[in-house]
């Protein structure tokens, strides 16, 4: 049984003041409750301590959107896994398409970061996903396979349980367009088959695969009901506490 992971990626939104307000609103709904789903917010670095504080008396978790692959040193502007652990983060997003596109992160960089995360007692949410033209020319499976294999090749199977994969078709991110539930299920099943071939069926069955790309209350039920969709990585809708809470509530109502 895979537990849903409902994760909000706030991207470069919500500085400390707004983050505290938003996190308080989310915490208020879940305070004293133990949701079946694991719920996570990944704020900008500077807002992490504020979200941690707001979530203190709840089961809600805090993560980061990025990390460096070294533990310390002359890397101006960077943040290490140790620093995130000190803030009690549990998860780190790696390989988001925006990092790949705007910050030149290659598959090798994503693999190094992911390795650093899982070997330092954190969990990685590894993002993969094709661009629109790749979907159109039917190379989306190859693209996702390549991105995924680049990462798992560098991870020992003892760390497989610290991996979460997020399928985020680039054409669906922030566009209001979503993969259809069938498209999502097809790709998630394909991703699981890659993990199964690489490690084993048992390991693959335990790795959660999230969908990301314009998930919102209106489409969450259909997407989350797919057999291989184990949660969501939510951008825009996670910046609205009632939408995010609604998605969590939808996840709570689904039994597979």
- Just list the catalytic residues: 96, 168
Helix H or strand E segment including 99: helix 97-102
Question: What residues have CB less than 8 Å from 125, skipping those under 6 apart?
Answer: 5, 7, 63, 91, 92, 93, 94, 164, 165, 166, 210, 233
Nearer to ligand 13P, 66 or 82 (CB): 66
Nearest distance from C-beta of residue 234 to ligand 13P, angstroms: 5
Residues binding ligand 13P (CB under 6 A): 9, 96, 168, 173-174, 212-215, 233-237
Least distance to ligand 13P, CB of residue 117, Å: 16
The nearer residue to ligand 13P, 57 or 64, going by C-beta atoms, is 64
Residue 11: CB minimum distance to ligand 13P, A: 7
Q: How far apart are alpha carbons 121 and 128 in whole angstroms?
A: 22
Nearer to ligand 13P among residue 75 and residue 103 (C-beta):
103
CB nearer to ligand 13P: give 58 or 94: 94
Phi, psi of 210 (to 5 degrees): -95, 155
At closest approach, how far in Å is the CB of 79 from ligand 13P?
18
Q: Are 184 and 226 in contact (CB under 8 A)?
A: yes
By the 8 A CB rule, do 12 and 66 touch? no
């Amino acid at each position: 049984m895979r537990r849903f992971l409902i994760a909000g990626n706030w991207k470069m939104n919500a500085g400390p003041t707004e983050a505290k307000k938003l996190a308080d609103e989310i915490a208020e709904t879940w305070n004293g409750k133990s949701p079946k789903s694991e719920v996570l917010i990944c704020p900008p670095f500077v807002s992490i301590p504020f979200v941690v504080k707001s979530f203190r008396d709840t089961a809600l978790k805090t993560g980061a959107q990025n990390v460096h692959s070294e533990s310390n040193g002359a890397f101006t502007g960077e943040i290490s896994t140790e620093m995130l652990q000190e803030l009690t983060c549990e998860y780190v997003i790696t390989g988001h398409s925006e990092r790949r596109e705007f910050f030149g992160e290659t598959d090798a960089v994503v693999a190094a970061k992911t390795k650093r995360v899982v070997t330092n007692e954190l969990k990685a949410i590894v993002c993969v996903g094709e661009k629109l033209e790749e979907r159109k020319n039917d190379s989306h499976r190859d693209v996702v396979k390549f991105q995924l294999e680049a990462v798992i090749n560098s991870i020992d199977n003892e760390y497989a349980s610290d991996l979460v994969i997020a399928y985020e078709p680039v054409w669906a991110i922030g566009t209001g367009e979503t993969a259809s539930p069938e498209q999502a299920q097809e790709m998630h099943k394909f991703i699981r088959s890659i993990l199964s071939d690489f490690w084993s069926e048992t390991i693959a069955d335990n790795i959660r695969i999230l969908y990301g790309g314009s998930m919102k209350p209106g489409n969450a039920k259909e997407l989350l009901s797919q057999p291989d969709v184990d949660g969501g990585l939510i951008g825009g809708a996670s910046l609205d506490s009632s939408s995010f809470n609604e998605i969590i509530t939808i996840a709570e109502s689904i039994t597979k």
